[in-house]
Structure 1
C-alpha cells in the first residue's frame, strides 16, 4: 500500500509535514495507563498558560481549516478536540491501548494523529480533494458522501477514511478488538513542524516497541 498526498493539495498547503508508521502484531492486552497519564499531564501543563486554541500547533490547523472554507470553531482538528476534552474533563477516555497511546501523544504534542485499521484500506490511500462520489461511514454505521472539494483520506475503492482532513475519521476503519495491523499518520503545519513530528514519531516508536514482549 502506498500513502500519498495529491499534488493540488500539496501545492495549497506547502507547510504540511507528515510521517507514517505501520504497526503489526497489535496486542490489545497491554497496559498503557501510566504512559497515557504521563503524557496527558504534560498536555495539561501546557494548558495552564491558556486554552488549546492558543497553541501554535493548533493555530496552524485553524488557519488551514479557514483556507478549506470551514469555521475552525465548528470543525476542529482531532488534536484540538482531544485537548479541549482533556481541559474540560481532566482525562481522556480509554478505548484501545494503541488509540489511548496515540491520543495521549497527540495532546502532549498538540499534533493530530490518525490511526486506521490497515486491513480495512483497499489498495493505496491518498489525501486529496473529494470528487463528491466517495463513501464515508460514520461511527453509528450510517453512510455519507463527502462534499465536492472537501479534503479526505480515500482508498482505491472510493471509501473515505476521514472527512475534513484531520477533523474526523471513519467508523469503517476504526481500530477494533480484532485489529492486528494499523496505519498511523501524523500531520502538522506549524513553524517547527518538521522537528516536532520527528520527535513525536520517535517517541511513539519507542513507546510501541516498549509494549512488545
Structure 2
C-alpha cells in the first residue's frame, strides 16, 4: 500500500491515510481496507502526529514480519480504480477533531483596524452547528501580510477563547474586540487557498 499525509506533507499537517493499495499485496488481498482510510497505528505504534517519512519508516520496518496489525479509521471518502486517492477539503473536515493538527497565527493590527478576513459558520438554532472557517482574506490587510491564514482554514480559538459551538455573531464579536495583537488557533489542509 502507499500512504499520504503526515506533518509537513504536501497536504498540510494531516493524519496519515491510505493513498493506494496494490490489489495483489497483503492489504489488497484482505479487501477490508480501502483507499482513504486513516492509519492510526501500526503494531501498536501510533502514526498520529508523525511526518510522512516517519510513518513510511515505521511501515517499512514491518516488511519482514509475519503479521502486521493496522489500526484504521474509516475514511469519509474513498475512490476506486488504480489512481492514487487524493482527499478533498471536505475529507479533512469530516475527520474527528482529535486528528486535526492546529497551528498558531498571530496577527498585528493598528488600533481600530480590521484583521482583514471574514468568517462563515457557527452555531445556529435553525441550521445547526457548523465549524467557523475563513471565507476570504482581504488583500493588503494584516491577515494577508502575515500570510499564514488562508481561505478555508478552520478557526478554533481567538486569544484563548474557543470557537466550538459559538454562534457566528459571538465569533465576530470576539474578533472585533480582540486587541492589536490577536492570537488565533487554526487548522489548515490542502484545499485551503491563499
The structure whose residues are more often helix, as a share, is 1
| TM-score, scaled to structure 1 | 0.23
The structure richer in strand per residue is: 2
* Higher relative contact order (Cα pairs below 8 Å, separated by 6+ residues): 1
